[in-house]
């Protein structure tokens, strides 16, 4: 049984075009390799205003179609950002407890404003769903990738990420450098590695285990290109509970590591794993030991 297909993250088809657009913007703003990326400078160069709240909510509301008005009113409390393309503005409420989240929303709204083919809707209203890994719709997916490119500065991050042996402490360090959340950094870190490594993210489900703790169920997974090539049929647990070695990270609230076997097709493969509980989700890195794989490749 392979990883559930719909849960494998893929980049938008326009990846190369978006990366180029971001590179140009970073260059024009003179902020290449400056981390955390000074987002204000990018807004300035792109001539987009970023404002913490709508200056005139009533006027904004009236300018929207009936359908979008209804969405605005029903989702208002949950909105994390608005891109108003007519005003060339974005509105992102401050998120003082999570600057990484706020920066990600800003990058996303800037994306809607500057990605040329997004200029067909007057306004984009974004909540947790459109800013998440499960965003529906090509434009949301594109704005998310744009934001990730802006925050991690694509190529530069790839080089930096490969300097580190994969571990959560490397990821925390890179998150600090880029001003991104630890979880978003873990995701991008795995995507950029040139060895076989994957990240699995589990969220608490409604089911309760024998110890009275939530059963954690697989939400999303992302693999490095090499991981996806070598282990296309990897069978990862869909749910884990207290007693599973990975779950110790939640139950003891610290990073754990170890080795274990997973099935790929009909073969058992030994992986190194690291697990970390971020108080909302369990993040697990699984990594094929590079040294063993060299031996295997020579023998093969």
Which residue, 55, 279, 11, 280, is CA-closest to 147? 11
Closer CB to Zn ion, 151 or 285, in the complex = 151
Closer CB to Zn ion, 117 or 252, in the complex = 117
Contact 183, 9 (CB under 8 A): no
Tokens 């950002």, residue located: 81
In this structure, are strands 89-91 and 49-51 parallel, antiparallel, or unpaired?
A: parallel
Q: Name the strand (E) or helix (H) holding 106.
A: helix 99-114
Q: How far is the CB of 125 from Zn ion (least distance, A)?
A: 8
Closer CB to Zn ion, 130 or 181, in the complex = 130
Closer CB to Zn ion, 125 or 236, in the complex = 125
In the chain, the N- to C-terminal Cα span, in Å, equals 24
Q: How far is the CB of 137 from Zn ion (least distance, A)?
A: 8
Q: How far is the CB of 90 from Zn ion (least distance, A)?
A: 10
Q: Which residues 6+ apart lie within 8 Å of 160 measured at CB?
A: 174, 177
**Taking CB positions, which residue lies at the least distance from Zn ion?**
126
Closer CB to Zn ion, 102 or 272, in the complex = 102
Q: How far is the CB of 81 from Zn ion (least distance, A)?
A: 7
Tokens read off for 288: 């094929």
Q: Quote the CA–CA distance of 282 and 272 in Å, as a whole number.
A: 16
Tokens 């530069």, residue located: 156
Q: How far is the CB of 173 from Zn ion (least distance, A)?
A: 30
Residues near Zn ion, by CB under 5 A? 124, 126, 130, 140, 143
Closer CB to Zn ion, 124 or 202, in the complex = 124
Q: Quote the CA–CA distance of 26 and 28 in Å, as a whole number.
A: 6
Beta bridge partners of 34: none
């Amino acid at each position: 049984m392979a990883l559930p297909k719909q849960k494998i993250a893929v980049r938008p088809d326009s990846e190369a075009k978006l990366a180029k657009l971001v590179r140009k913007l970073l260059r024009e703003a003179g902020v290449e390799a400056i981390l955390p990326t000074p987002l204000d400078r990018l807004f300035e160069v792109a001539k987009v205003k970023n404002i913490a709240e709508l200056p005139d909510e009533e006027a904004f509301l009236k300018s929207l179609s009936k359908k979008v008005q209804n969405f605005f009113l029903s989702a208002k409390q949950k909105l994390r950002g608005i891109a108003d393309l007519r005003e060339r503005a974005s509105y992102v409420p401050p998120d003082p407890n999570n600057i990484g989240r706020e920066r990600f929303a800003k990058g996303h709204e800037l994306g809607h404003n500057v990605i040329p083919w997004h200029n067909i809707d007057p306004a984009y209203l974004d909540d947790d769903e459109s800013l998440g890994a499960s965003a529906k719709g090509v434009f949301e997916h594109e704005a998310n990738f744009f934001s990730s490119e802006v925050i991690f500065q694509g190529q530069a991050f790839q080089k930096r990420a490969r300097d580190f042996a994969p571990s959560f402490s490397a990821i925390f360090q890179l998150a600090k450098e880029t001003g991104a959340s630890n979880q978003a950094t873990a995701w991008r870190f795995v995507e950029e590695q040139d060895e076989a490594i994957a990240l699995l993210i589990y969220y608490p489900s409604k089911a309760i285990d024998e110890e009275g703790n939530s059963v954690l169920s697989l939400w999303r997974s992302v693999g490095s290109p090499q991981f996806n090539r070598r282990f296309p049929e990897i069978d990862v647990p869909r749910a884990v509970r207290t007693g599973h070695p990975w779950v110790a990270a939640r139950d003891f609230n610290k990073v754990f590591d170890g080795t274990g076997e997973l099935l790929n097709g009909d073969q058992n493969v030994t992986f190194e794993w690291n697990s970390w509980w971020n108080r909302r989700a369990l993040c697990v890195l699984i990594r094929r030991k590079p040294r063993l794989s060299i031996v295997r490749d020579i023998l093969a």
